[in-house]
Structure 1
Amino acid sequence: MNDRLNSAQPYALGLFRIVTGLLFACHGVSKLFGVLGGETTAPASWPGGISALIELVCGTLVMIGLGTRAAAFISSGAMAYAYFSVHQSMGLWPLENSGESAAMYCWAFLLLVFTGSGALGVDRLFGGRADAPAQQAERTDLTPAQAG
């Protein structure tokens, strides 16, 4: 059972990345264009417009799996900033201050910083650079007889 789940892990991570990036990008679209129930924010305004641009651009990059770790790092930081600058002043717990989505996005993107894009990402098309650390770690576990 564990072997099956372990073999599916890159695909589950890829789907997690796609859904998280899509939902995050939708927040940006909502704020920038006033669709999906949102109100329009000027793109150059601070912090609303800048956060909307980060949500749209980084969410799209995470969704397609291009520069996933960098985009996820920026997104995680933006959501941490949003939580502590906007929500924290309204109460200690995310349920009290309506900061659940900011907290969840922050931790979800931080996870992607450390795991990478998983399967189904554009990063995989560029010579396996996304896999290089994992492949190097696998090679160091091999004995000389296994490696040759």
Structure 2
Amino acid sequence: MYTRLNRAQPYALGLFRIVVGLLFACHGAASLFGVLGGAMGGGSIPAGTWPGWYAALIQLVGGTLIVLGLGTRIAAFVASGSMAYAYFKVHQPKALFPLQNGGEPSAVFCWVFLLLVFTGPGSLALDLLFARRSDVEPGEDRAREQAPAVAA
């Protein structure tokens, strides 16, 4: 049974990455463009406002990259850091625990993205497509066969 589950692991991780990235991108779109309920339920954040506008930009761009599986580890690292910043600068000063200070989404996103930094994108990611293309150059195998062996 575990063997079957292990074979499905890359697909489960890929689906996890897509869903979490989409949720994160939606937060950014809501804050930047006032869609999906807007920033805190009304409108958008004025451009260049620190830190909200920059956080929303990281959410939209980072979330989109994570959904696509493009630069997943780097995008997840930046997203995780932004959520750690949000938690400790915005939520934690209000109260110690996430349930008390409203910081649960920030804390969860922070740890989820940190996990993706270490696990990678899973399947269904553009990272994998580009990695396969760069691993094998056309004619590379023939060049290795024709090259003389070098004694060490």
TM-score bracket, shorter-length normalisation: 0.7 to 0.9
**Could you report, residue by residue, the CA deviation over 1:44-70 in whole angstroms, capped at 9, with x for unpaired residues?**
111000000000000000011000000
Quote the Cα distance in structure 2 between the aligned partners of 1:3 and 1:43.
Answer: 50
Write the mapping of 1:73-88 to structure 2, written as runs, cut at 5 A.
73-88=77-92
Write the mapping of 1:1-148 to structure 2, written as runs, cut at 5 A.
1-39=1-39, 40-128=44-132
How many residues are matched?
131
Q: CA deviation at 1:128?
A: 3.0
Q: CA deviation at 1:35?
A: 1.1
Q: Structure 2 stretches of 5 or more lacking a match?
A: 136-152
Answer whether contact 1:62 1:72 (CA < 8 A) is retained. yes
Quote the Cα distance in structure 1 between the aligned partners of 2:102 and 2:94.
Answer: 8
Q: CA deviation at 1:127?
A: 3.0
Q: Percent identity?
A: 65
Quote the Cα distance in structure 2 between the aligned partners of 1:38 and 1:31.
Answer: 5
Q: CA deviation at 1:29?
A: 0.2
3-state SS of 1:44 partner: coil
Report runs of 4+ in structure 1 exceeding 4 Å deviation: none
Quote the Cα distance in structure 2 between the aligned partners of 1:71 and 1:31.
Answer: 19
